[in-house]
């Protein structure tokens, strides 16, 4: 079947008539859009706005400080590679590791079990970040550690829930978004229901898409189609991977291990019920309780406009620090750190402000 | 947000553990989040966990979307 | 430099490496006794020399080991400057507790590669440090060879309009190491670690041969960014033309890596006058190591100057930048 | 080799070092591409090259630092073979967490020594390894220079009847390091770390100059034992004639070390035809670094062959052997 | 005053008339004799026999095994540099260290206190070897650790007493020794009394000498003089350093901390009351008790004639393994390991069997 | 058996600790085994402990030994 990216792009040019602003919520979408140069093939009527869907970017400074403080206290701290370079006042996991502290890269949450066995006489802490796609792995780790009676393992649960953030943006009168490209993998877990508020409450198209360039273009095309036809809906164009009901086992595990809590999103502020904390039966695995950590939400670095970038109010080249004081080597804000942070992606891939 | 890569199940290693391949890569994954995973299944893996099974693409939905878009563009149906 | 603590990012071959190197060379530069930033130095008397430290972990990897790597790495730095690999020096720093047989096995690999290349070990050095003062061993190689071309191959020879080639599929060394380090076996994946002299020397007669560089740390992407920055020209690449093997692509998908930045140890980038590009490709492909050689882009005076851009598979365009800092596996 | 685990003894420059090196070189030797065991290799075209790894701890010591040491060590290996120190290559392996300013300060020392010597940094390399994979830093230097004498200076030139000289008082580098390492401050003790080329180059015109070697690891004793072994001649020393400074002697007394085996980094042993010995001494003493130069013994065909003996202060005689294994402080 | 070594040697040649066998007990004497080439200036009538006075050589294999076993169990083991290369079946301190275990060189016993502070969560064990000169330092360490209440420090006390060994040799009918050059530094601690048995019980001269070549020659000269004049006595030619009563504070400390015990001397066997064990009040610092170690006296390596070397019955070149299977690099017996071991000294310095 | 080196006391650092020099070497030593150590004293140090004070050589004993030996050798007294 002749669906390839260039032909979708061509089609999109034909159907897009009214100017639209569409937000891609997910950082993986952001990066795929930049790396494939999608912006350069879109019709001028279609404006893409990058959203807060990079777990690195939205992890609050206070949360990073908490992880570093545990390193300082002698714990082994395990984290996904994505988190290593994120700076806060006290440094980063990478800079702590370079001073000989035990920050370890893991590629899966379950690797933390072996670390806890290897360092049986030390505290091993997992820095749990990410959205609903990632949180089930942490939940499974905690459940398994509980089953095995492992005593030296705990978790800093800084996981975040996507729907509250998306609703905040949908409701923002300044943004005037025309629709949302929704994160395919979050929806693999959550299903369709948590995003139905988009068409039902705000009259906005919500399209769940995969991450290949052609899948993204197809998702965008469907948002345009919904607008052109005046029929906003929630739809998945990600094939059979996303089921309407999501992944029941994953949802059950999240329900078993976590409860909602108010959580600070870096650059955005506290969003009610947008975080996941360990429930009472698992509180012995809660590193915040175990080490008596009280999170202090960080203040954004002076001059950094991450909050506006993360909510799509400005694009990075509009930040005065972009490419001058703020580069991937010495990032001012977290959006510049991550490979999928909006500022980082603009810096690396965007020709617009250079030619 | 969440890199996830399709893997093919090669071997069930025990409760919630399987050997899988992603292209030429062989790796051990967790299957806690899925029921009834069997060798040959294609699953989407994120952070070491299979988060969903992928069925052989049913093109009907995609075909109908494509048709809708072409109609909107005023192009004739190609099939 | 803002950050005065050396981090792994400084070792990853990208932008940070360049900044550290520049700080370290400052004392030599201000006395006018500093080096150019080419693979090998051209000395009076028609010789070229180079040196490189090797710290690969694991020391034995699919497709080679640290001994073979050391010889290839040094010989390739000579080869890309048109010098034959004639003499080698090897300096070993060994951790006490290492098996001397293991160390000797790397010397066997090194010797065998040298013998194939007609290279003689002229000098050696061995130091032993206390347990914990080095992780197993470090090999530093220096190589020395006669320059076999009348032209000076260097970045300064790159011109607007030149064609860019790559000698083989990219990223195989970095992928082999990552596969071992992250315990992700990849079927059929071997490091590309190999001496380039046999494949590159037949190109030396081409009038249009401008510059060659072996893509080591930092991969093809870093080499091209360095060239663009140094020449102030624009380099445009064609994503679909860059050869990436199935194995490398699979591993990059799983770990969230970009093949453009994965290390190679038997792969060079070439800038060639357009008139000689076809002939260069033909000659390269005669070497079994360069069957996948390809034209991947061209040099122009377009904007943005000093930068690399890439035409993507979907017909879009984007920039290619050097990697920033250490390359880490991602879940996002 | 009986013990197949590398120990610090293998790094101490004595007998065990020689055995390890021989095992490591075996693969090259059996292919006839192995080196001679001289300080620097003589290459076709009138050039000499050498390389050495430096891992000194502490990195800054009384009288120098690892950067200065690297340049001196490499340049001295050229100098003793009659080659001028023309070009240098420096390869750095840095531990993440090191201060880049600290590393740059050693490069400043290195650059300043190079500039004094008229040496150019032709090539460099920098690698960064994870915290714990190296103890701070390792520098490997390779040096390359034009041979400035028509004679080949090597062990094979040593003859029966030759006079043995040492260019300065021995053991100062090893003592300075031991002083820092064992936290025993020694008033007025400085490493002898210095470039020998200015002092040795005026000797090159002497017909009777046979062989020179810088006494590094293993000290003067090891150099002479190696010479005796390689030539099969007997070397006899006069204990009272060997210059040992008060500071070195004090430290050796306290730690139970023998100055003969203490490392030097600006001191060479010379074998000279007896007819030229006085002139050599006179020339050496014109250099401020060689004010203590002395005739310390002679070469003969006496028994035991291939060995070194020493006339002691009380008029007795004994053998001098290479150090065996690591040199450790003693209480007995 | 015109006393220098060549003139003493000349004098010695004049006064030595009858053939004599003199044993230098102390390894430091042995080494000084070899390094200064004293043997080569002695009159042919004077034969020097080296005794068992090298603490490395006489430390039993079972004692080394005990230290290595504590390394294997994760302890930090501190020892004087002299002990590092001494092999037993399980390796040596040096070979264990090369495998990453924590064997540390100290240059004074008190350095072990700082190690115990640095590694406060680990067991730090001091390998206490040596004779009466060295044992007071160990006693002071134990006393100080007790005073400071340090709990992670203990001592393997393998110290040995000199007089019982000397008496064993004086009494040996096979040896026919004509006199003893006694260890100056042991006598600094012990004084004259413990060696009075030499003239009084065995009619043998005992001369306490310093370690410089001239002091040794002077000591030998006095032994010859005593023989020539038929007046065996105990005499110190080491100036005022050796007092008749020894060092009372050191003796008091030895008395306070140690008690005698039977101990195996490598190559010689068990000599009654020749060892020093920690007394009851200090037994919590006794590593043997603390870790439940029972010493198994080692069997000498096959073919090694250390026992005969150590008791002066043969000289090393008479051992068939000397210079062939047994070299300082791969020593068969302990006498070859130590810089002051008799076989090692012969190997390094002795021309006699080479020319 | 026991290397011991003469040191000169430079400074008393506290009970049982002193700064001393052995030739050009400066080091901290323990004085537990001696009474009344004061700066200027020469002591014999083994394994970090001063084991005895050395008095300025009283040459009487040595002189008498020397005389005895020369007499035995049949040499005339030189002094
Ligand atoms: S460019 Fe840097 S400072 Fe500006 S918004 Fe982005 S991350 Fe913040
Ligand atoms: S030479 Fe070796 S084997 Fe023989 S007695 Fe001496 S130590 Fe033992
Ligand atoms: Mg290169
Ligand atoms: Mg190089
Ligand atoms: Mg290279
Ligand atoms: Mg060397
Ligand atoms: Mg190690
Ligand atoms: Mg040398
Ligand atoms: Mg050298
Ligand atoms: Mg040298
Ligand atoms: Mg390099
Ligand atoms: Mg370190």
- F14 contact E CB<8A: no
Distance D50 CA to ligand 8 centre (A): 9
Instruction: Answer yes or no: do E36 and D9 touch at CB < 8 A.
Output: no
Query: CB A245: neighbour CB atoms within 10 A?
Result: 10
Please state, as a whole number, how many other Cβ atoms lie within 10 Å of the Cβ of residue C128: 28
Chains F and A touch (3+ CB pairs under 8 A): no
Residue among A5, A39, A40 at smallest CA distance from A22: A39
Of A55-69, B30-44, C138-152, minimum mean pLDDT range: A55-69
Quote the distance between the C-alpha of residue A192 and its chain's center.
Answer: 18
* Residue, of E150 and B67, whose pLDDT is higher: E150
Sign of the Cα torsion E95, E97, E99, E101 reads: positive
Handedness of CA A253, A255, A261, A263 (dihedral sign): positive
Strand runs labelled E in E4-160:
20-26, 46-53, 76-80, 103-106, 124-128, 153-157
Tokens of E41: 């200036």
Q: State whether residue D150 sits within 8 Å of chain E by CB.
A: no
Torsion of CA C143, C144, C146, C148, to 10 degrees: 30
For chain B, percent of residues with pLDDT exceeding 90: 61
Give the pLDDT score at F3: 87
Kindly give the parts of chain E with pLDDT less than 50. 1-2, 355
Query: Which residues in chain F have their CB less than 8 angstroms from residue E79's CB?
Result: none
In this complex, do A188 and B51 lie within 8 Å of one another by their Cβ atoms?
A: yes
pLDDT above 70 (res F76):
no
- Summarize pLDDT for E119-136 with one digit per residue, the tens: 887 899 999 999 999 999
The rounded distance, in Å, linking the Cα atoms of E170 and E163 is 10
Mind listing the pLDDT tens digit for each residue in E45-75? 999 998 888 888 888 889 999 999 999 988 9
Domains by residue range for chain B, with CATH: 5-72 (2.30.30.140)
Give nearest CA residue, ligand 1 atom 3: A304
pLDDT of residue C243: 98
Look up the CATH superfamily of D35-147. Answer: PurM-like, N-terminal domain (3.30.1330.10)
Q: Which residues, by Cβ under 5 Å, contact ligand 10, an ion?
A: D 73, 76-77, 214, 216
Chains that touch E (3 or more CB pairs under 8 A): C, D, F
Distance, CA of D129 to CA of D136 (rounded, Å): 10
**Ligand 2 neighbours (beta carbon < 6 A):** E 304-306, 309, 316, 319, 321-322, 326, 332-333, 335-336, 343
- The span from the first CA to the last CA of chain F, in angstroms, equals 36
In whole angstroms, give the CA distance from residue E217 to residue E215. 5
Q: What is the pLDDT of residue D2?
A: 47
Nearest to E13 by CA among C218, C69, D315: D315
Given 3-state DSSP classes, what are the helix, strand and coil percentages for chain B, each rounded to the nearest 5? 20, 40, 40
The residue ranges of chain C whose pLDDT is under 50 are 1-3
Which superfamily does CATH assign the domain made up of C155-320 to?
Answer: PurM-like C-terminal domain (3.90.650.10)
DSSP class of residue C99 equals: B
Chains interfacing with A (3 or more CB pairs < 8 Å): B, C, D
List per-residue pLDDT tens for chain D, 332 residues long: 444 788 888 888 778 888 899 999 999 999 999 998 889 999 998 999 999 999 999 999 999 999 999 999 999 999 999 999 999 999 999 999 999 999 999 999 999 999 999 999 999 999 999 888 999 999 999 999 999 999 999 999 999 999 999 999 999 999 999 999 988 999 999 999 999 999 999 999 999 999 999 999 999 999 999 999 999 999 999 999 999 999 999 999 999 899 999 999 999 999 999 999 999 999 999 999 999 999 999 999 999 999 999 999 999 999 999 887 778 888 87
Asked if pLDDT for residue A355 goes beyond 70, the answer is no
DSSP string over E280-316: GGGGGGBHHHHTT----PPPPPTT--HHHHHTTSS-G
The predicted pLDDT at position A2 comes to 46
> What pLDDT was estimated at residue A301?
80
Written as one string, the DSSP assignment of E100-111 is T--EEEESSTTH
Position D1 scores a pLDDT of: 44
Is the Cβ–Cβ distance between D77 and D194 less than 8 Å? Answer: no
Please report the pLDDT score of residue C103 as a whole number.
96
E243, closest residue in chain F (CA to CA): F52
Could you tell me the domains of chain E? Answer: 1-292+302-347 (3.40.50.11740)
Coil, helix or strand for A302? coil
Query: For chain D, which residues make up each domain, given as ranges?
Result: 35-147, 155-320
Residues D52, D77 contacting (CB under 8 angstroms):
yes
Residue C189 is predicted with a pLDDT of 97
Q: How far apart are the C-alpha atoms of A240 and E82, rounded to whole Å?
A: 74
**Mean pLDDT to the nearest integer, F56-64:** 69
| pLDDT for F58 | 57
Q: Say if CB E287 and CB E155 are below 8 A apart.
A: yes
Coil, strand or helix at A3: coil
Interface-testing mutation among C6, C238, C307, C331, with chain A (most A C-beta atoms within 10 A): C331
Q: What share of chain A is helix, strand, coil (3-state, %, to 5)?
A: 45, 20, 35
Comparing CA positions, the residue from E330, E305, E301 lying closest to residue E319 is E305
The radius of gyration computed from the CA coordinates of chain E, to the nearest angstrom, equals 20
> What is the Cα–Cα distance from A26 to A162, expressed in whole angstroms?
9
SS3 track for chain D: CCCCECCHHHHCCCHHHHHHHHHHHHHHHCCCCCCCCCCCEEECCCEEEEEEEECCCCCEECCEEHHHHHHHHHHHHHHCCCECCCEEEEEEEEECCCEHHHHHHHHHHHHHHHHHHCCEEEEEEEEEECCCCECCEEEEEEEEEEECCCCCCCHHHCCCCCEEEECCCCCHHHHHHHHHHCCCCECCCCCCCCCCHHHHHHHCCCCCEEEEEECCCCHHHHHHHHHHHHHCCEEEEEHHHCCCCHHHHHHHHHHCCCHHHCCCCCCEEEEECHHHHHHHHHHHHCCHHHCCCEEEEEEECCCCCCCEEEECCCCCEEEECCCCCCCCCCCC
Predicted local distance difference test score (pLDDT) of residue E114: 94
For B26-48, what is the mean pLDDT?
95
Q: Which residue puts its alpha carbon closest to atom 1 of ligand 1? A: A322
Distance CA C207, CA C203 (A): 9
Among candidate residues C72, C327, C324, the one with its CA nearest the CA of residue C178: C327
In angstroms, the CA A88 to CA A296 distance is: 12
- Euclidean distance between the first and the last CA atom of chain B, given in angstroms as a whole number: 37
Task: Starting from the CA of residue D135, give the closest ligand.
Answer: 12
pLDDT score of C2: 47
Best residue among E309, E317, E344 to mutate for probing ligand 2, ranked by most atoms within 8 Å of CB = E309
Q: Does B22 touch chain C (CB under 8 A)?
A: yes
Q: What are A171-223's pLDDT values in tens digits?
A: 998 888 999 999 999 999 999 999 999 999 999 999 999 999 989 999 999 99
- What pLDDT, on the 0 to 100 scale, is given for residue A1? 41
Q: What is the pLDDT of residues B48-62, one digit of tens each?
A: 999 999 887 655 677
Reported confidence tier of residue B1, pLDDT bands at 50, 70, 90: low
Q: Test C315 with A84 for CB contact under 8 angstroms.
A: no
What does the DSSP assignment read for A112-173?
HHHHHHHTTTS-EEEEE---TTTHHHHHHHHHHHHHHT--SEEEEE--B-HHHHHHHHHT-T
Query: What would the pLDDT profile of A301-346 be if each residue is shown by its tens digit?
Result: 888 888 888 888 888 999 999 989 998 888 888 788 776 788 998 9
Q: Residues 6 or more apart from A2 whose CB is under 8 A from it? A: B78
pLDDT at F59 over 70: no
Which residues of chain C neighbour A82 with C-beta distances below 8 Å? 328, 330-332
């Amino acid at each position: 079947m002749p669906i390839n990216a260039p032909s979708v792009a061509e089609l999109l040019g034909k159907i897009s008539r009214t100017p639209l602003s569409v937000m891609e919520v997910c950082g993986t979408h952001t990066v795929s859009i930049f790396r494939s140069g999608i912006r350069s093939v879109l019709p001028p009527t279609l404006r893409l706005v990058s959203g807060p869907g990079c777990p690195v970017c939205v992890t609050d400074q206070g949360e990073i400080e908490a992880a570093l403080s545990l390193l300082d206290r002698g714990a082994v701290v395990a984290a996904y590679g994505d988190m290593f370079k994120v700076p806060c006042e006290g440094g980063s996991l990478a800079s702590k590791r370079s001073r000989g502290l035990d920050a370890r890269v893991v590629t899966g949450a379950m690797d933390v079990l072996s670390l806890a066995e290897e360092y049986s006489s030390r505290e091993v802490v997992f820095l749990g970040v990410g959205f609903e796609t990632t949180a089930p792995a942490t939940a499974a780790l905690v459940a398994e550690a509980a089953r095995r009676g492992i005593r030296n393992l705990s978790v800093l649960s800084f996981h975040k829930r996507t729907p509250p953030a998306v609703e905040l943006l949908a409701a923002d009168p300044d943004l005037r978004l025309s629709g949302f490209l929704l994160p395919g993998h979050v929806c693999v877990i959550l299903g369709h229901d948590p995003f139905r508020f988009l068409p039902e409450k705000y009259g906005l198209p919500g399209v769940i898409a995969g991450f290949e360039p052609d899948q993204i273009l197809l998702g965008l095309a469907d948002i345009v189609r919904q607008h052109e036809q005046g029929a906003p809906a929630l739809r998945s164009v990600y094939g059979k991977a996303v089921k309407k009901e999501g992944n029941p086992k994953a949802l059950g595990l999240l329900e078993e291990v976590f409860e909602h809590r108010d959580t600070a999103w870096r650059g955005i502020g506290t969003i009610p019920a947008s975080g996941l904390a360990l429930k009472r039966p698992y509180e012995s695995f809660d590193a915040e309780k175990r080490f008596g950590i009280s999170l202090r939400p960080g203040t954004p670095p002076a001059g950094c406009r991450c909050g506006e970038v993360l909510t799509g109010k400005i694009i990075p080249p509009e930040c005065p620090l972009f490419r001058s004081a703020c580069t991937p080597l010495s990032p001012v804000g977290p959006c510049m750190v991550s490979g999928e942070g909006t500022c980082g992606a603009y810096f690396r891939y965007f020709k617009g402000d250079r030619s | 947000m969440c890199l996830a890569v399709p893997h093919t199940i090669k071997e069930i290693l025990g409760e919630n553990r399987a050997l899988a391949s992603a292209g030429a890569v062989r790796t051990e994954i967790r299957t806690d989040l899925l029921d009834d995973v069997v060798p040959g299944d294609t699953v989407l893996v994120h952070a070491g966990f299979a988060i969903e099974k992928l069925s052989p693409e049913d093109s009907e939905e995609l075909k109908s979307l494509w048709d809708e878009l072409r109609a909107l563009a005023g192009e004739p149906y190609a099939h | 430099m803002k950050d005065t603590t050396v981090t792994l990012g400084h070792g990853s071959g990208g932008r940070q490496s360049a900044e550290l190197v520049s700080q370290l060379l400052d004392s030599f530069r201000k006395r006018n006794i500093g080096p150019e930033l080419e693979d090998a130095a051209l000395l009076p008397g028609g010789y070229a020399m180079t040196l490189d430290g090797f710290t690969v972990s694991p020391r034995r990897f699919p497709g080679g080991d640290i001994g073979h790597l050391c010889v290839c790495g040094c010989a390739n730095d000579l080869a890309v400057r048109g010098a034959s690999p004639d003499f080698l020096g090897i300096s070993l720093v060994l951790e006490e507790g290492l098996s001397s047989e293991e160390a000797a096995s790397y010397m066997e690999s090194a010797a065998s590669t040298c013998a194939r290349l007609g290279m003689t070990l002229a000098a050696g050095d061995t130091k032993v440090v206390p347990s914990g003062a080095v992780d197993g061993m470090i090999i530093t190689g220096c190589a020395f060879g006669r320059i076999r071309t009348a032209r000076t191959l260097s970045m300064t020879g790159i011109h607007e309009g030149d064609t860019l080639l790559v000698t083989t599929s990219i990223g195989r060394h970095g992928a082999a190491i990552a596969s071992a380090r992250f315990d992700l076996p990849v079927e059929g994946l071997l490091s590309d670690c190999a001496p380039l002299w046999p494949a590159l020397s037949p190109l030396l007669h081409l009038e249009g041969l401008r510059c060659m560089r072996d893509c080591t740390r930092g991969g093809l992407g870093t080499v091209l960014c360095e060239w663009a920055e140094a020449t102030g020209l624009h380099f445009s690449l064609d994503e679909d033309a860059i050869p990436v093997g199935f194995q490398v692509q699979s591993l990059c998908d799983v770990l969230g890596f970009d093949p453009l930045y994965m290390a190679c140890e038997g792969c060079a980038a070439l800038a060639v006058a357009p008139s000689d590009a076809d002939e260069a490709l033909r000659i390269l492909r005669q070497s079994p190591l360069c069957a996948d050689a390809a034209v991947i882009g061209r040099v122009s005076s377009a904007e943005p100057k000093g930068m690399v851009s890439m035409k993507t598979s979907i017909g879009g365009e984007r920039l290619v930048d050097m990697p920033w800092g250490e390359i880490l596996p991602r879940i996002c």
